[in-house]
Structure 1
Amino acid sequence: MIDFVLGVEDLADTRFAMSPLHETVLSLRVLREPGLSAIHLPWRRAVLERITARDGAGALDAEETDLLRALVARRRTIPDFLTPRPETFAPSYDEQLAEVRRVPPERVRRDLVAAHAPDPLPPVLQDAVAGTDESLARFRDGLCDVLARYWNVALAPQWRQMRLVLEADMTYRARQLAVGGARSLFADMHPNLRWRDGVLQVRGLIGPDRSNPSRGGLLLLPSVFAHKPTPPLDPGEPPRLLYPSRGVATLWTAPEPVDAAALGALLGAPRTRLLLLLETPLATVEIARRLRVTPSAVSQHLRVLHATGLVTRARDGRQVLYRRSGLGDRLAEFGTGTGTG
């Protein structure tokens, strides 16, 4: 069990973030152990087809696939150097992978051994750890290259949908905190978590019990692929906690097909054409120019689309930019080719 001791200032500094690199590394657990989560089996089947395709873009060979699976220890732990702490709310995958490329070889060696202890390292990792710092640095960089290709094939195509799930979870948690305080924030996060007297207890972990002072707030990371709350292996790491996100069960479910003509009948031809245009953020005047209609006509349709949750808006200086929402994206995906006259 791990106790995070959170004072008043620590709670004030507690924040949320999301990490594409964390998700990438955690997904290797499902890739290695299909029985870990039946929810992710559709994703796993699709990814295995893509990474093993002979002529597929980004396909991995057998040695590269074995290397990725070897990163996950028998007890499902993962080396800490592969999960750097996000310093911003939503860092890009390339930004986080660049951090891994800067990790000193001695830490790479230490974290690989610690993740697999007390078991020996898999053969594919033993040679790297036994080599010089120079050879270990080359191993680290080669591993980052493989992880970059794996991301492009396995998660990048779904990252937008995954991000919507994670953002929805954080919105829910923030409301729980605002309404009921820290007790409500952690109440239904996971059965292994318990908040009591200023201490967040994380149970169900392998290893010795320890107590961690928060030292500046706790970083909370909702995760699609986490199956239980997970802190860093190293007690010296700044405190962070990955936890299973809400809404994951619907992530890999294919939406019901939408009849294109029905979309036009539902929204009308002008609003359908407008929705299809808003793949990127645009201002009202620019929309009117492209559609060759008046700004007032565009504003009227935008009000309806925004009120029904199909578009979002944000101010940029003196103008307001409109863009399709996640719901609007799903409708537009099946609406391409509808009548737009």
Structure 2
Amino acid sequence: MLRYELSDADLGGVRFGISPLCELGLSLRAIRDPSRYPLQVPWLRRTEDARSRLNLEGLLALVDERHWTPDFLNPRPSSPLTRIDDEFAALSVIPAEQFHSDLMSVHGVIPAFYAGPARPAIRRMVGVLEDFWDSCFAPHWLRMRTILEADIVYRGRQIAQSGLFAMLNDLSATADFDGHALSIRLQTPVSRTEQTDGLGLTLVPTMFTRRASAPVSAGMPPMLMYPARGQGAMWETERVANPAAIVAVLGEVRTSLLTALAAPASSTELGVRFGVTTSAVNQHLRVLRDAGLVTSTRYGRSVLYFRSELGSVLLLG
């Protein structure tokens, strides 16, 4: 049991954040034990081939049999807009003492893959995680983020309609707020109480926890990771009602893609949403781009497509 004793200032400082690195680290739980994360089985299936080419020794050395991950993989996000590149940059310069102590807190020993001098070990870890992100997360991240952001919007509406007390008590069956303290029932026999000392409380929705989670080590900034709503919709195939006249010109798939591209999306994300292979989506997008109906731009490690002004005029009249 972890009990955060919250002052009035802490309650006034409750904030939400999204951490791509936190999602990356917590997803190792699903890789280690897929049966405990049924909603993410489609993600595991879709990334199975990519994961076979990753350094699984380095990845699985970051999670133990209790499904604990080192606190350096669960940074406290400052906003819902955190970028993975910024988190990787911060991770690459963590102190050697923190790297070793966080690993020890999880495993009791330093895993063989990360033995030896800390700086080279940290570089190995960041390299392994970057490969993992590029192959298994980047193609799906925009849609994942949409679900996480939708949860935050829902929680904000809860606060407005029912108050902070109701919202905090609805986050997880294993977290309870009594008006002064937030109690989190963790899977550990050790109990501790922490004074938050005006640091506020950060609430982080995630796709990869079934119950409330918190930092492993004592004295970390107060943070609660909780299961995001709507995860089951992540892999549902999207169906769009399209204007018949446009379908007659472009075809059903291209019209659906053009409709969806009111918001930027990658070809892989669009393939997931519409049940079409990525290669087929890319072929359709090339045709739409050559016709001037969509544009493309690089965002970090992904290429995003967006409906052009001409595409909007055609679709919306």
- 1:191 matched to which residue of 2? 173
Q: TM-score, normalised by structure 1?
A: 0.71
CA distance in 2, matches of 1:22, 1:277: 28
Alpha-carbon distance between aligned partners in 2 of 1:102 and 1:113, rounded to the nearest angstrom: 19
CA distance 1:13–1:123, shift in 2 (3 Å): same
Partner Cα distance (1:157, 1:143) in 2:
21
In the alignment, which of 239, 242, 245 is matched to residue 222 of structure 2?
239
Contact 2:165 2:179 in 1 (8 A): no
Paired residues for 1:124-273 under 5 Å: 124-125=113-114, 128=115, 131=116, 135-215=117-197, 216-256=199-239, 262=244, 264=246
Instruction: Point out where structure 2 has 5 or more consecutive residues left out of the alignment.
Output: 265-303
Q: Deviations over 1:262-319 (max 9, x none)?
A: 48369x99xx798577556xxxxxxxxxxxxxxxxxxxxxxxxxxxxxxxxxxxxxxx
Residue 73 of structure 2 corresponds to which residue in structure 1?
82
CA contact (8 A) 1:79 1:112 kept: yes
- TM-score when normalising by structure 2: 0.76
Q: Does 2:93 match 1:102?
A: yes
Whether 1:32 and 2:32 are equivalent positions in the alignment is: yes
Higher mean C-alpha deviation, range 214-223 or range 203-212:
203-212
Match in the other structure for 2:283:
none
- Contact kept in structure 2, 1:84 and 1:99, CA below 8 Å: no
Q: State percent identity of aligned pairs.
A: 32
Residue deviations 1:196-253 (CA, integer Å, cap 9, x gap): 1311111143141111122221000000112211111111111011100000111122
Q: How many equivalent residue pairs?
A: 266
Say whether the 8 Å CA contact 2:147–2:229 is kept in structure 1: yes
SS of equivalent residue, structure 2 residue 208: coil
Quick one: distance in 2 between partners of 1:252 and 1:275? Answer: 19
- How far apart are 1:22 and its partner, in Å? 0.4
Partner Cα distance (2:129, 2:100) in 1 = 18
Secondary structure at 1:157 match in 2: coil
Q: SS in structure 2 opposite 1:26?
A: helix
What amino acid is the match of 1:188? D
2:56 to 57, 60, 65: 65
Q: Residue 18 of structure 1 aligns to which amino acid in structure 2?
A: I
Give the aligned CA root-mean-square deviation in angstroms: 3.0
In the alignment, what sits opposite 1:8? 8
Extract unaligned runs of 5+ from structure 1.
53-58, 281-328
Structure showing greater radius of gyration is 1
